Structure 1
């Protein structure tokens, strides 16, 4: 019985993935850098990890962490006027984080090297010089994992 009570007292962890359209004032590299830095500090304090992908004017973000802080952050995002057409793609309990590398990291797909952009464009729908953010939760997670892997590979090679 004691293992059951310890399991219920352990913090519940979740993964939340959403997509949205961004306002123009958030598209500059300076604005994105400021967002990533301030989010990393707050998310680190709340034990939230994740990745934000920008493709054209669309965001795709994954948040992982304790249920209450993740829920509070998503509520804050839903009220943020810099996000439009917000759509929750998935929300699920998890036992292991897939995006534990960063409290927050931003990947602008347009800034990736050509070979990586072409790889993503061949795997995901694309048009107008950007990768389309999928509506399907499995494809969205796949795109996030690809962006994570590309970023980690570039870091390992000294690219950032």
Structure 2
């Protein structure tokens, strides 16, 4: 009798876990108003928020800083749904771009802070949000000889449970 009770409890716990994962997989956030505000050349050495995982000191390397805007509060959305917020830059092909990043660095940032699901927004971020002046940043190595519109950017990410976050695809004009 005890064995069947324990088997029954295990089955119930397993069913609840499967239901939780199934419900998470049904959750998705689609951002439809992503825009590129500007693209600037910066030096990796001057961008301490971007993690450097190479051997030796951080190199002097020119990368592109892309400033983005959306009406969606990415930090609150990440926290509410436990999203990992990332992005994809890939060659533009028609309206949608194929997946596959082209030399990106880390994640999506506001100022010097990475947008994560496990950190509280700073008071400065909350104030900027109220003022409507939030601009997010991503960093990527885009070849200087790339023709305008050659690459497209899309926010992407999600949870290990299968929930997703994505955005409209926007062309980059370096």
TM-score (norm 2): 0.27
Which protein has the bigger strand share?
A: 2
Select the structure that is richer in helix.
1
Rg comparison, structure with higher value: 2
**How high is the TM-score relative to the length of structure 1?**
0.28
